[in-house]
Amino acid sequence: MTDAKDNAPEVFADLFGAEFRTILSIFHEGVIVADAGGTILYYNDAQGRIDDLPPREAIGRKIVDVYDLSEAQSTTMRCLHSGEPVVNQPIFYRTRLGRFANVVSNVYPIRRDGRLVGAVSFTKDYQMVEKIVSPPSTGRTPKTPGNGTRYAFGDIVGSSPGLLAAVKTAQLAAGSPSPVMIFGETGTGKEIIAQSIHNYGPGRRQRFIPINCAAIPENLLEAILFGTTRGAFTGAEDRPGLFEEAASGTIFLDEINAMSPSLQAKLLRVIQEKRIRRIGALAETPVDVKVISSLNEDPYRAVERRTLRQDLFYRLGVVVIAMPPLRERRGDLPALACRFVGRCNQAMKKAVADVSEEVMRLFQGYHWPGNVRELAHVIEGAMNLVGPGEAFIDTAHLPPHLRKPDGVQLQGPPASAPPTICPAAPEAGSPAPGAAPEHAPVENLVQARDMVEAAAIRRALLASGGNVARAARVLGLLSPQSLHYKLKKYGLNRKDFILSSDINKKN
């Protein structure tokens, strides 16, 4: 073994070149390079942290000796024997210090002049899975206090009709065991709505467990969701899945459309039968859990593109909530900016009053592809640049893409909104005449008038709690019949606004 250890660097340099060692050493993933016989030629520090093993103790040894695996169990040896890649293979094992490691291994063959000379293994560490999926009997105190949530309906800022409709639907669905599906662009606040539903429902004292379906490979995701039994595969132990862990609580499946079709089929059966079967188990376990899912596109479009099974959509989309993008709720910008400035003041020990009028004009004209999340990041970045004695976020504090005229893309007139609690926050309004960039779209006057009229009617209905007669008086109409005509014209239903005032009072 000493000879192999001493010769390993030379063999590695012969295969790859000495400079390749530097590249592999900075990888965040664990990297192992083995020769055709399974002897380790290279083993980086990241792999050492995963295995609790210094690289010097691994280099020069056989893969099956370091991991105490048979050649059939080792992904590297399987690759060397077959000459084919082994992709996204989950492995659970204990390190020499007794820690339980959860990893995903990808192994690729190395060929020279058509001859197999070795294999390179990339290992992704999923220690965070152990923290999420831990046996209830461990007695460990979770790091996150409470039920695993941070938000409730009272944390949602805004009064735009689309947002209020989403909140109203979410509150009505919170008391039901039926699955809820939330869709909207990235950064629109889907998880905030999901957490709020959990905290408004009967299972609020139980756990809220979120999982990003796009961030974890299929094989590992199945084990995480449904659990495993000892011996189901290499290193598998008896462990509950998230559906069991979330008993009587809520499981939030984020980016459900990133889940593979085969796993979607298994999830469909769980939703239908309300029972799960751990990987490798024969018996089924009943589960009582509220399922909330989300995706970043219209679910009907996802079904058309076959990234979401139609039958699963029918099961998960019993209640569907659409989160409007920020460009469709520009009237909420002053209130949102005020909220984020206040949070940053507390975190950074500053006393900034608000954003300047010029900054708000830029905000109103920007298209916000990252939505509310992007707004929060922009304000946080600007707050770092506000110096002592400066009371407002000014244009000089903004990132370059917001300061440049070509970074502003007007999307029509912003919706009006009630005054915010920040005295310096300007009313949402259109830019001054002649101030709009040349590339701003030319609007049809009839369409613009209808948009303003429909927005005014929505606000009056919100204020009156859906009372048409009262709303008509607020709008200055001669009779409720005139308002009924306009409701039909704009496709509005007064019943949709009956609970909106209650929502505002509770929040």
- For the stretch 321-375, pLDDT in tens is 999 999 999 999 988 988 898 888 888 888 888 899 899 999 999 999 999 999 9
Q: For 105-114, 229-238, 262-271, 375-384, which range has the lowest pLDDT when averaged over its residues?
A: 229-238
pLDDT of residue 312: 96
Q: For 377-386, 422-431, 473-482, which range has the lowest pLDDT when averaged over its residues?
A: 422-431
Q: What pTM value is reported for the model?
A: 0.60
Q: Which sign, positive or negative, has the C-alpha torsion 387, 390, 392, 395? A: negative
More confidently predicted of 471 and 502: 471
Q: Is 365 exposed, middle or buried (0-12, 13-18, 19+ CB in 10 A)?
A: buried
Mean pLDDT of 24-36: 84
pLDDT of residue 417: 37
Smallest CA-to-CA distance from 359 within 328, 391, 329 is with 391
**Contact status, residue 60 vs residue 5, Cβ threshold 8 Å:** yes
Q: Find the distance separating the first CA and the last CA of the chain, reported in whole Å.
A: 69
Separation CA 507–CA 496 (nearest Å): 18
Smallest CA-to-CA distance from 271 within 221, 311, 227, 234 is with 311
Q: Tell whether the model's pLDDT for residue 204 goes beyond 80.
A: yes
